[in-house]
Structure 1
Amino acid sequence: MDVPAAANVLGTIGAVCWSVQLLPQIWINWRRHNAVGLQPTMMMLWAWAGVPLGVYNIVENFNIALRIQPQILTLLSLVTWIQCFYYEKNWTVARSLAVVVPVACSMGGIQTGLIFGLRAAKDRELQWPLTLMAVLSAVLLAAGVLRHYWDIYVHRTVRGISFLFVGIDAAGDLFSLISILFQYKLDVLGMVIYGTELVLWIGVFACGGYYNLLPWVRKRLQRRKGGVSDGGNTATPCSSLGGERALQEAAEPIMLHNLPSSTSVFRTPSGEADIIRQRNTGMRGEDRNSSGGA
C-alpha cells in the first residue's frame, strides 16, 4: 500500500526511537564513570551497520526519517564505543578524540562514495550491489546483538546494557518495519533488516526476564517473608577477607554506581558477585603492597 503520510509518521517514530536508544546507555556510563559489561565490539558493529543501512535507505528512496536514522545510529554508537575505552582503559579525552574522529570521517566518506556508486548501478538495473548493502547491514546489526548473547551465556545474566535501551531500540525496529509496509513499494529486504534485530531484542528481553527479573522478584518476596535477602552471598566476602575488615566489607552496601548497567533495573547476584571479586582483588593487592613495604 502507498500511504506516504503513514510511512513518514511511523518512520519518524522509528527514527526518534533510534535517536534516543543509546542516550540512556551513554548517560548511565557517564553517571557511573564506567562501562562495565558493555561490549565495544557490539558498538563498533552497529556503527559500521549504519553505513550500508544508510546507503540502502537513501538509494532506495525510503522516507526521509529512515534516511537520517542510520546516521544517528552510527554517531551514537561511536560515542558509546569510545566511552568503553575512555572509562575502562583510562584513555584521555585527546586520545579518544584522536581515534574516534578519523573513524567517523572514514565512515562518512565511504557511505557517500557508495551512495553515488550504487545510484549509478541502479540506473543500469544492477540489483546485487543494493542486495549486498541490505545483507551487510542486517548481518552487522545482528552480530552486534549476538555478541551480547555470548555475554549472557557466559555470565548467566543480562548485564552491561539498560533494559530501557533495549525497549527503545526494539520499538525503533518495530515502527521502522511497519513504516516500510506503507511505502509505495513493499521492500522485503528492508523488512528483513529491521525484523532480524527486532527478533533478537525480543530474545534479550526473554533472557532478562529469566536471569534478571525472576531472581529479583524472588529476592523481594524473600524479604517480605522475612527470609535471608542475601542468598548466602555474605559468607563469601567474610571467608576471603578475614577479621574486622571482612565484617566491615560484608556489611558495607554495594553501591549502585559500581554495578553493571543492566542492574540499574534489577540487581542480580551475579552483578554483586562481580563487585565482590573486584573488591577482593583490590584488597589482596593492597595487602601485598603493605607487606612488601613492611
Structure 2
Amino acid sequence: MDVPIAANVLGAMGAVSLQVCWSVQLIPQIVINYRRHNAVGLQPTMMMLWAWAGVPLGVYNIVEEFNVALRIQPQILTFLSLVTWIQCFYYEKKWSVTRSLAVVVPVACVMGGIQAALIIALRIAKGKYLQWPLTLMAVLSAALLAAGVLRHYWDIYVHRTVRGISFLFVGIDAAGDLFSLVSVFFQPTLDALGLVIYGTELVLWIGVFACGGYYNFLPWIQKRLRKRKGDLNGSGIVSPACSRSSGHREAPAPEPIALHDLPSSTSVFRTPSGEVDFIRQRSAGSRSGDEHAAGP
C-alpha cells in the first residue's frame, strides 16, 4: 500500500533535484573561468553541443506539456552553455566583448527560431498521433549531451589530465542524472529510454571523475607525501644519503607556480602536464612580448 506513495515522493524529489542541478550546473564553471581569466582545457565544442541539446529537449518538454520548470530548464541549459562557449573565445582567443556578442547573439536567435518552428510542427504531428518525431527529439538531445562529454575524453587522452572542466560542475550534473534515474525508475510506467539516456551520461561523468582521480588527485597526493618526507628530512631527521654527503646542502627548489594560475580542473590538484602547458603558454607570451618591445 505504501509503494505508490513512496514512488510518488521519490519521483517528485528526483524531478525537483534534477531541475535544481541542471539549472545551476554550469554556474561554477562560468565563475571559475571568470576568476582565472582563462578557459584552458575547456572544450568549446562540448559547450556548443550542449547548447544545441537544449533545443530538442525544450521542444520535447513543451510539446509534451510538462510543468513550467521542465519547460524553462532547457532554455537555461542553452543560455548557460552559450555563455560558457563564448568565454572560451573571449579568454583564449582574446576576442573583444563586442565581437563576442556579435557572434553569440545571432547564434542564440537562430536556436530560438529553430525551437519555435519545431514546436509548431511537432504539435501538428502530435495532433495526427505521430509520436516518433517527439521520440527523435528526446534521443537527439541525449545524444548531443553525451557527445559533448565524450569530446572532453579526447582532451583527457591527449594531455593525460583533466583540464579546464570544474569537478563541482561535473558533480552537480552527475547528481542531476542520478536524480533523473530515480525519478524515471519510480514512475508508474518504467521508461526504458529514459533510463538509457540518463544512465549513459551518468556513466560518462563517473568516468571523468575516475580520470580526475587517477591523473589529478593521485599525483597530488604523491607530491604532498614527498614534500612531507622532505620537510621531515630538513627538520633534523637526516637520511643516510645526506649523512654520507660532503655536508653541502642542495639549493632550494624553485618557487612553485601559484595554484590558481594552473589550468587544472579545480585549482587544487596540480598535475605535471598542467604545469608544462602553463609554462609553455607563459614562455610563448613572454617571447612575443619581448619581440614586440624590441620593435623592428
CA distance in 2, matches of 1:183, 1:108: 31
What displacement does 1:87 show? 0.9
Matches within 5 A, 1:5-44: 6-44=10-48
Matches within 5 A, 1:1-294: 6-226=10-230, 251-285=254-288
- Contact 2:264–2:270 (CA under 8 A) maintained in structure 1: no
- Contact 2:162–2:264 (CA under 8 A) maintained in structure 1: no
What displacement does 1:287 show? 5.6
Deviates further, 135-144 or 118-127: 118-127
Return the index of the structure with the highest Cα Rg.
Answer: 2
What are the superposed Cα offsets for residues 145-195 of structure 1, whole Å, 9 maximum, x if unpaired? Answer: 000000000000011101111101100111122222344543332332222
What displacement does 1:83 show? 0.6
What displacement does 1:61 show? 3.9
CA distance in 1, matches of 2:285, 2:266: 22
- Contact 1:137–1:193 (CA under 8 A) maintained in structure 2: no
Equivalent residue of 1:166, what SS? helix
CA distance in 2, matches of 1:201, 1:217: 22
CA distance in 1, matches of 2:94, 2:101: 13
Gaps of 5+ in 2: 233-250
CA distance in 2, matches of 1:289, 1:54: 49
What is the number of equivalent residue pairs in this alignment? 274
CA distance in 2, matches of 1:119, 1:265: 49
Structure 1 counterpart of 2:280, one-letter code? R
- Contact 1:263–1:271 (CA under 8 A) maintained in structure 2: no
- Contact 1:52–1:136 (CA under 8 A) maintained in structure 2: yes
Give the CA RMSD over aligned residues.
2.5
CA distance in 1, matches of 2:294, 2:88: 34
Structure 2 counterpart of 1:126, one-letter code? L
What displacement does 1:95 show? 1.5
1:77 to 1:99, Cα distance in 2 relative to 1, 3 A: same
CA distance in 2, matches of 1:176, 1:23: 20
What are the superposed Cα offsets for residues 60-112 of structure 1, whole Å, 9 maximum, x if unpaired? Answer: 34444333222111110000001111111111112211211121122122112
CA distance in 1, matches of 2:294, 2:101: 41
Deviates further, 94-103 or 52-61: 52-61
- Contact 1:4–1:182 (CA under 8 A) maintained in structure 2: yes
- Contact 1:162–1:264 (CA under 8 A) maintained in structure 2: no
What displacement does 1:125 show? 1.9
1:219 to 1:253, Cα distance in 2 relative to 1, 3 A: closer
- Contact 2:217–2:269 (CA under 8 A) maintained in structure 1: yes
TM superposition score normalised by structure 1: 0.84
Identity %: 77
Gaps of 5+ in 1: 229-246
TM superposition score normalised by structure 2: 0.84
- Contact 2:18–2:177 (CA under 8 A) maintained in structure 1: yes
Structure 2 counterpart of 1:130, one-letter code? L
- Contact 1:59–1:118 (CA under 8 A) maintained in structure 2: yes
